[in-house]
């Protein structure tokens, strides 16, 4: 008599990867909103009066509640007690609420309102926080930046909750299977949001020749509504899986404070957490200033409004080409025939060259930086697949640190030397941005899949939450630091702006970024040292970080 083996959704590759697609698309939308103002920093200064300190303070506020009110720790507890489904939908709703507040703060309706007057007169001094130097507001900060910071704080709670929930969801659906490949693929696809933001945010802000930065934020809000819908669809698929397997949701395992002690007592956990905060602090805060850095270090020719390259049609074409690059590069990882894989790769390379050429012809910094995630989309699944079958996760982190250092030092010292050389500067910028994106792809492919090797599966949600909390300290601190360092190391520029010698538009594209970039390179040096320490600890204690995830 033949025994029938019952298969579940998790056993179906199509179902597993469909779930991953929903989760990745939701994170794709959240990544767009996270950097929605980054490519229009100059417009925020010229239309809303946000100098670098105000811009950096607002951007750093995203993680304020996560760090100082310990919301991320609570998010981990919610995840472990209430389960992936509930937490995913909750995170989508919180992101949408925060984004809506952020949008209203930069609208014309807010300007001149009673609410603007209130924010101008209040939140200039926060007892305790001001003394510690960690207040998300300061006297003289534009009212729109203060209110936007409140919305961004709420959004930040949702997006970080979504991050740990998605990681936990992938572990649930892919454990014992292609987990590193899945995590790498999710992050690669989600990071296309960075390119989407860089390409479309300025377009919406300048639509019809009338500058309105709130249109860019509204675009992000609509996408977050779609992200919430994706989480709701995931909710029902995950519920069906539990019905098939008979497994109870994670909430049947009550959270204990002692669980945190188990996590924090792990030396390997601390090394991974510190590596994470160093990596992410050198990348995410940089993304918020990258377009402005390119505007200050490269020479762009202003296009005639009648030029084909200045039309929105070009924007759509370039974005479609970007999707071809991403799809072909991603698909090459799954092609079984070598000939088909070669066709995909050749297509991706040709499309990438065309994409870069169009970015050069459009003469805008945001379209140059849009190339950032494209190489990562192609190689992250490769790296994830390698970690699944061959291991070497800790070694990859060391390699990523080296590339991180090289890229930031190139931006700091080599790129400025090409100012005035239109083609040479953009070529250097493209190559460095591509390598930086590739170096960052090492993190999701090697670091995140290592966490389940360090903690018990029952408390993995709390472990991810703790790592995200530690990471958020850097994501709060460094956008603020970069903004302050920019103003402090460009005193003449700040003085000339204050005295009316130059206009806000001129000031916004005249900063010297050397000091902030060297600071970010130092984070890479610290990550490199910790990477070697992690390799030594792994070898001594047998943590299994260099071992493959899939055992033969």
Give φ, ψ of 2 to 5 degrees: -85, 130
CA distances in angstroms from 123 to 44, 136, 157, listed in the order given: 21, 9, 21
Helix ranges (DSSP H) in 306-451: 312-331, 338-362, 365-369, 374-389, 393-409, 422-440, 442
Residue 520: which of 356, 290, 344 has the closest Cα?
290
With contact defined as beta carbons under 8 Å apart, do 536 and 416 qualify? no
What pLDDT score was predicted for residue 518? 96
Q: What is the mean pLDDT, run by run of 10 residues, along the chain of 552 residues?
A: 57 82 92 91 88 88 85 76 86 95 94 92 82 81 94 92 85 76 77 88 87 93 95 89 67 55 73 84 89 91 86 90 88 82 91 93 90 79 70 78 93 91 89 88 68 70 74 86 90 87 85 94 92 81 68 58
What pLDDT score was predicted for residue 4? 41
Taking the CB of residue 525, how many other CB atoms lie within 10 A of it? 15
CA distances in angstroms from 115 to 15, 111, 146, listed in the order given: 48, 8, 11
Two tokens at 216? 């860019």
CA distance 198 to 385: 29
Taking the CB of residue 206, how many other CB atoms lie within 10 A of it? 18
What pLDDT score was predicted for residue 2? 42
Two tokens at 321? 């080409």
What pLDDT score was predicted for residue 251? 45
CA distances in angstroms from 327 to 188, 214, 320, listed in the order given: 11, 31, 10
With contact defined as beta carbons under 8 Å apart, do 229 and 23 qualify? no
Q: Which residues touch 426 (CB under 8 Å, ≥6 apart)?
A: 298, 359, 360, 368
How would DSSP label each residue in 42-67? Answer: HHHHHHH---HHHHHHHHHGGGHHHH
DSSP one-letter code for 135: -
What pLDDT score was predicted for residue 461? 63
Spell out a b/e string for 77-108, using b for 16 or more CB atoms within 10 Å of the CB, else e: bbbbbbbbbbbbbbbbebbbebbbbbbbbbbe
**Dihedral of the CA atoms 439, 53, 207, 223 (nearest 10)?**
60
For 132, the 3-state DSSP assignment is helix
Place of tokens 């020719």: 301
Place of tokens 């140059």: 368
For 470, the 3-state DSSP assignment is helix
Long-range Cβ contacts of 537-543 (<8 Å, 24+ apart): 537/267, 537/268, 537/271, 538/268, 538/394, 541/267, 541/268, 543/268, 543/453, 543/454
Spell out a b/e string for 489-519, using b for 16 or more CB atoms within 10 Å of the CB, else e: ebeebbebbeeeeeebeebbbebbbeebbeb
Q: Which residues touch 261 (CB under 8 Å, ≥6 apart)?
A: none
């Amino acid at each position: 008599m033949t025994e029938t083996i019952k298969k579940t959704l998790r056993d179906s590759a199509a179902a597993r990867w469909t779930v991953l697609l929903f989760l990745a698309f939701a994170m794709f939308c959240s990544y767009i909103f996270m950097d929605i103002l980054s490519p229009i920093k100059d417009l925020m200064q010229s239309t809303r009066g946000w100098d670098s300190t105000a811009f950096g303070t607002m951007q750093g506020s995203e993680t304020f509640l996560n760090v100082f009110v310990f919301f991320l720790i609570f998010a981990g507890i919610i995840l472990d007690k209430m389960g992936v489904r509930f937490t995913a939908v909750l995170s989508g709703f919180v992101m949408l609420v925060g984004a809506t507040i952020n949008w209203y703060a930069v609208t014309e309706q807010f300007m001149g309102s009673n609410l603007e007057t209130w924010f101008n007169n209040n939140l200039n001094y926060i007892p305790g926080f001001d003394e510690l130097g960690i207040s998300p507001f300061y006297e003289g900060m534009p009212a729109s930046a203060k209110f936007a910071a409140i919305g961004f704080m709420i959004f930040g709670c949702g997006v970080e909750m979504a991050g740990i929930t998605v990681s936990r969801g992938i572990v649930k659906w892919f454990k014992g299977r292609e987990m590193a490949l899945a995590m790498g693929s999710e992050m690669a696809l989600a990071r296309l949001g960075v390119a989407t933001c860089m390409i479309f945010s300025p377009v919406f802000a300048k639509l019809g020749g009338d500058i309105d930065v709130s249109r860019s934020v509204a675009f992000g809000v609509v996408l977050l509504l779609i992200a919430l819908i994706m989480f709701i669809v995931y909710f029902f698929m995950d519920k069906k899986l539990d019905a098939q397997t008979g497994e109870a949701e994670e909430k049947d395992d009550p959270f204990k404070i002692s669980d945190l002690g188990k996590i924090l007592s792990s030396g390997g956990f601390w090394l991974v957490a510190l590596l994470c905060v160093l990596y992410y602090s050198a990348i995410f805060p940089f993304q918020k200033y990258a377009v402005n850095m390119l505007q200050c270090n490269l020479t762009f020719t202003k296009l005639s409004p009648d030029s084909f390259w200045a039309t929105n049609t070009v924007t759509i074409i370039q974005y479609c080409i970007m999707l071809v690059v991403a799809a072909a590069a991603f698909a090459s990882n799954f092609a079984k025939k070598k000939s088909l894989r070669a066709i995909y790769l050749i297509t991706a390379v040709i499309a990438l060259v065309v994409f870069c050429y169009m970015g050069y012809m459009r003469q805008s910094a945001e379209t140059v930086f849009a190339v950032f995630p494209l190489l990562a989309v192609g190689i992250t699944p490769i790296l994830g697949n390698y970690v699944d079958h061959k291991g070497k996760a800790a070694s990859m982190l060391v390699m990523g640190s080296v590339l991180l250092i090289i890229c930031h030092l190139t931006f700091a010292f080599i790129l400025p030397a090409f100012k005035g050389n239109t083609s040479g500067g953009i070529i250097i910028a493209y190559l460095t941005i591509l390598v930086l994106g590739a170096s960052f792809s090492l993190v999701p492919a090697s670091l995140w899949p290592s966490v389940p090797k360090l903690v018990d599966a029952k408390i993995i949600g709390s472990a991810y939450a703790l790592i995200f909390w530690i990471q958020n300290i850097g994501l709060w601190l460094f956008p603020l630091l970069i903004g302050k360092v920019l103003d402090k190391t460009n005193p003449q520029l700040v003085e000339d702006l204050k005295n009316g010698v130059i206009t806000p538009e001129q000031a916004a594209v005249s900063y010297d970024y050397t000091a902030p970039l060297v600071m970010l390179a130092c984070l890479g040096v610290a990550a490199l040292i910790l990477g070697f320490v992690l390799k030594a600890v792994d070898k001594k204690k047998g943590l299994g970080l260099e071992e493959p995830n899939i055992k033969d």
